[in-house]
Amino acid sequence: MKIYFLLITIIQNIIAYEQSVRVTGRLMCHGHPAQYAELQLVSKKIIGGDAFARDVFTDPDGYFDIAGYIDPSTWSKIDARLYIWHKCYEKPYEHSDPCSQWFEIGIPPINVNGGPLAQKEWNIGEIELKDRRSGQELTSCS
């Protein structure tokens, strides 16, 4: 039993380690700041569901700063994704509450940090939301 526990501990320390991600940027809608758009940082896992989920909203100038952390007990690497929900449509008059559009951006593994606090950030720059993206969807409107 002691050998089994020791073996599990060694494997966990080799495979699993603390990881973190930080993403910053600015969202725009028809050249104006996309105020209060919702962003969620998620790490997809093969087993056990999503590892972390952090929600933030853009500020009045459209800027955001979002970070997440996964502890070593999850036994998996970060497959980080940034989800963005917004109400910016190709034509401004198409807007109809409470519908939102959303899309995801995969975060390249090179932007994943070792440790619980992200030392480097991935600045995605400015994103114009009126431009449709591959995989963009409309949320169910109720």
The angle at the Cα of 75, spanning 72 to 77, to the nearest 5 degrees, equals 90
pTM summary value: 0.77
* Cβ(8)–Cβ(106) below 8 Å: no
pLDDT of 27-62, one tens digit each?
999 999 999 999 999 887 655 555 677 899 999 999
DSSP strand pairing (122-128 vs 19-29): parallel
- Rounded to an integer, the average pLDDT of 136-140 is 70
Query: What are the residue boundaries of the structural domains of the chain, listed by start?
Result: 2-138
15 vs 34, more confident: 34
CA dihedral sign of residues 117, 121, 127, 132: negative
- Return the CATH number of the domain spanning residue range 2-138: 2.60.40.3330
